[in-house]
Amino acid sequence: MKGIGRRFTGRGAVRTLTYAAGIGVKAVLLAGLLLSGGSYGTAQAAMPKLEQIRVALFIDAGKYKDTASAVTLSSGAGLTLSLRGSGGAVHTAAAKEPVRVYADGYYAQLPDTADAAQAKAQAQKLAAAGKDAGVVQRTKRGQPAYQVYLGPYPTKEAASAAAASQAGAVLTGPLRLSAGSYASAAEAQTQAAAIAQAGFDADVAQLTAGSAGAPAYAVLVGGGADAAALQGQRAQLAAALPGVALTPVDAAQQGYVLQRSELAVSGSAADAARAFVFGGPIKLWAVPAAADGSAAGGIAVRERDGRTYRGGIELTQLNGKLAVINELPLEDYLYSVVGSELTKDWPLEALKAQAVAARTYALKQGAKYQIAHVADSTIDQVYKGLTAEFPAALQAVQATQGEVLLYKNALIDPLFYSNAGGKTAESTEVWGNKVEYLKSVPSPDEGADTGKKPWYRIVLPNGATGYIHSDYARATGQSNPAGLPFYVSTGTDVSVRPAPYVDNAANPALFKVNIGDRFVVIDEVKESNAYAWVRGPYDPAKLRDKLAGALPAGAGAASIDKLEISKRGPSGRVLEVTANGQPLKAAYPDALRTLLGGLPSNLFEIEDTGRYTILGTDGITRNQSASSTPLYVASGSGPAVQQKEPQLFVMDAGGSVRLVTKNQQYIFRGTGLGHGLGMSQWGARGYAELGYDYQKILQTYYVGVSVVKG
């Protein structure tokens, strides 16, 4: 779901919090809105106007955090960087010229070196270790000097810790001295060069306030982390340059932009790039030289996967950290949201339904993040800029321009997500609160399953078992005595995984097979997808560790010996799960899937491989488990033998084979992807293919709403 109109699959997606692309929203952010019950105002109050929307690309807003220490901007048409508000131009970049921007702060600065290659290699090594590193290029005493730094950090303590981890590094900060004010950048540069000739760092700074609106420039020196350090730097400068008047800079009142030359840390280019460091109450504004709606006419942000954006980019600070905001017309924003959430093969009516839901969501938010309306991730609505747009997405937005969803004359919370698994949820099944327009309805979601290739569940001669993709296995035409077919591997170093999907982090290989390796196939399933999926198996002891505080005090035992679904809602979604007979503690029903390892949805079954039922020759049914009496297996030609192997395979009367283990393991099998409230994106596609128009699709998923043009 999307924030409230967001896809909500329970897998967080913030870079600093780790999001998976295209799925997931934090339930807690939405639960409060739905649990409030919702009050409905007049139609006028429900139709806010928003010509320009502000989208947070990087921000620390407290409740949402996705940060970067610096960003690198460029445009195929060139761009202009200026002081927002005053209109003073800071820099005009040529076509594709990179411009690095960051907010001033605290740094761990390494010793100067005259070797550019050495400095760059050192910075690259630090960056590879996950540290924010840069290289300032200077000329001091007539010789090149390269300064590798870590940062900027928002606090002195953080920078001090970084400095302590690097040999020879010193702590520097944003406290600076002015060595004179000038009417032109050229005059300031002359003074900065004279100070550098004496062996000190000096930067030309553009100030936010000049006489009669003209730009003002200063030469800033120092860089103390505290008042004592700044005073020491002042004494050194005064002794070396007695004719230079030095005055402290009041950064709280006087905004400034330092102009620097820096080496590119990433890539192979050795050329220097423009860098701008801003401090104080300042906003920088970047716009392309020619915004023509093409990728070349947008602004690319390297740290956002190189994505290109319409509109302009504002750079400022919030909570002491760099905030990067993309500001653009609302309808232009929707072009990318529709293109980011869905793909060009979606029917036009489904794209239109997404456009109306996304517009309603954006208008509903207000200034959600203080200086931004929405974020660009699954915490709200996925927004990938110009690169995600396609013609049908633009057509869908334009065909529905201004249209929103109302219930009792108020904007609704247009929850949406990937796949309902065949049936949407009642509102009470997700967060426990009744919302009249969110009811359980059928949803044609099977399209996500179409075309998925099969995976085979295999057993090797040594008893190892797992899933292999069908592209890497070939039938031999032979079978074992139980009638199960033999296959061989057709590839080398082929991964066999716990569940039938590829994810090296969440579903890594159990083992690998090579060409000619022979195994038995005991089951065939489609690759896990948005409609049908398999997760696990999970070891009981590890599952207990994962559940941690969700286990009730009475659960007992060092592991979970019994995990069962104890309550379901009207749509079949799981409302309660018990561990060792006691209900898991979940803040709301949808939180269960997060507790259980990030299940795609709450429509699932639990298979306990350590439990099975035996129908004896005496007609008596017995339920067996790992703690039950020993199991004896009798063949038609020999005596009964106690089963001591850690696992066995049981075939039912229909020929289906099930793995039984001596020690329990839990496998989850389910359908759907997301919380299930409101519109299923795959279901919208299914309805469009059945001939529904976008209004009927929306009114199917949001019961009793009106589609109204604002």
Please give the C-alpha separations between residue 282 and each of 176, 261, 288, in angstroms, as whole numbers.
Answer: 16, 21, 20
Q: How far is CA 482 from the centre of its chain?
A: 47
Pair 635, 658 in one domain: yes
Contact 297/73 with Cβ under 8 angstroms? Answer: no
Pair 642, 515 in one domain: no
**One-letter identity of residue 360:** T
Please give the C-alpha separations between residue 621 and each of 62, 611, 614, 635, 660, in angstroms, as whole numbers.
Answer: 57, 13, 6, 19, 17
Pair 546, 524 in one domain: no
Of 263, 282, 309, which residue is a domain's last?
263
**Is 386 part of any domain?**
no
Q: Which helix (H) or strand (E) holds 329?
A: strand 321-329
Pair 569, 473 in one domain: no
Contact 260/132 with Cβ under 8 angstroms? Answer: no
**pLDDT at site 47:** 64
**Is 8 part of any domain?**
no
Residue of 463, 476, 470, 457 whose CA lies nearest to 521 = 457
Of 528, 543, 558, which residue is a domain's last?
528
**Is 44 part of any domain?**
no
Contact 285/84 with Cβ under 8 angstroms? Answer: yes
**Is 377 part of any domain?**
no
Pair 511, 652 in one domain: no
Q: At what angle do helices 348-365 and 391-399 cross, to 10 degrees?
A: 60
Contact 112/146 with Cβ under 8 angstroms? Answer: yes
**pLDDT at site 657:** 72
**Token output for 699:** 């009114």
Please give the C-alpha separations between residue 141 and each of 115, 144, 200, 294, in angstroms, as whole numbers.
Answer: 15, 8, 9, 46
* 60 contact partners, CB below 8 Å, separation of at least 6: 67, 318, 319, 320, 321, 323
> For 547, how many CA atoms within 13 A lie in the half-sphere containing its CB?
27
* 423 contact partners, CB below 8 Å, separation of at least 6: 440, 441, 442, 443, 571, 572, 603, 676
Pair 134, 146 in one domain: yes
Domain count, the chain: 4
**Is 516 part of any domain?**
yes
Contact 82/307 with Cβ under 8 angstroms? Answer: no
Pair 120, 197 in one domain: yes
Pair 512, 553 in one domain: no
Pair 522, 632 in one domain: no
Compute the distance between CA of residue 14 and CA of residue 20 in angstroms, rounded to an integer. Answer: 8
**Token output for 643:** 């089963």
**282-295 per-residue burial string, b: 16 or more CB within 10 A, e: under 16:** bbbbbbbeebeeeb
**pLDDT at site 651:** 62
Pair 124, 250 in one domain: yes
Q: Tell the burial category of 683 from Cβ atoms under 10 Å away from its Cβ (0-12, 13-18, 19+).
A: buried
**Is 692 part of any domain?**
no
**Is 538 part of any domain?**
yes
**Is 542 part of any domain?**
yes
Question: 3-state SS of 595-641?
Answer: HCCCCCCCEEEEEECCCEEEECCCCCEEEECCCCCCCEECCCCCCCE
**pLDDT at site 652:** 64
pLDDT along the chain (710 residues), means of 10: 40 29 32 33 56 96 93 94 85 94 95 93 92 93 94 94 94 94 92 94 84 74 94 94 91 86 72 85 91 77 95 95 97 98 97 98 93 95 96 98 96 96 95 93 97 96 94 96 93 97 95 97 95 93 82 69 93 94 91 92 92 61 59 62 62 67 86 97 98 98 94
**pLDDT at site 625:** 61
Pair 158, 222 in one domain: yes
Q: Residue 568: give the domain boundaries.
A: 533-608
Preceding amide of 537 cis, omega within 30 = yes
Pair 509, 630 in one domain: no
Compute the distance between CA of residue 376 and CA of residue 378 in angstroms, rounded to an integer. Answer: 7
Question: 3-state SS of 45-114?
Answer: CCCCCCCEEEEEEEEECCCCEECCCCEEEECCCCEEEEECCCCCEEEEECCCCCEEEEECCEEEECCCEC
Of the chain, the end-to-end C-alpha distance in Å amounts to 24
Of 245, 263, 281, which residue is a domain's last?
263
Preceding amide of 248 cis, omega within 30 = no
